[in-house]
Amino acid sequence: VLGPELAPGSIFFSRCKSVIAEISSSNETATLLESVRFAQQLVLFAPQAVPVHSHVRSLVPTLFSRQPSHRYLAVSTLRHLIERDPAAMINENIEENLFSMLDGETDSEIATLVRATIIRLLYTSCPLHPSRWLAVLRNMV
């Protein structure tokens, strides 16, 4: 879809990756929003371009942003990652972050999305790691 110029390892891909890293390190609201939007587009249209761990590492801090649009995009992108590559997401241990997010979330639409994301993660990882889910739930209680 993106063409050979954005193949991982190409010069253009490396330049884009550097720009994304620079944008991601900014604290400006608009810049962070664009960073999360771009990450979401990569997940949807070029899932092999960036490892799941890199996406998760950049999205988790955004879950606790003061901006609802940031939180919404971060959660929806994490849900896409869970749907696209459940095996990789199992090892990311984001369950507690999502549960913590539910405690303070004031936007009902975002809270619904967080619940749906937790359920999706539960369905994909619980059969393989039931003891981990029991530990997470015990910690939450």
pLDDT tens digits along 21-77 = 766 666 666 666 777 777 777 776 776 777 788 888 888 888 998 889 889 988 998
Residue 8 backbone zone (phi > 0: left; psi -120 to 50: alpha; other: beta): beta
What is the domain range of residue 83? 4-139
Domain count for the chain: 1
CATH code for position 59: 1.25.10.10
For the entire predicted model, the pTM comes to 0.74
pLDDT tens digits along 75-124 = 998 998 898 888 888 888 899 999 999 888 999 999 999 999 999 999 98
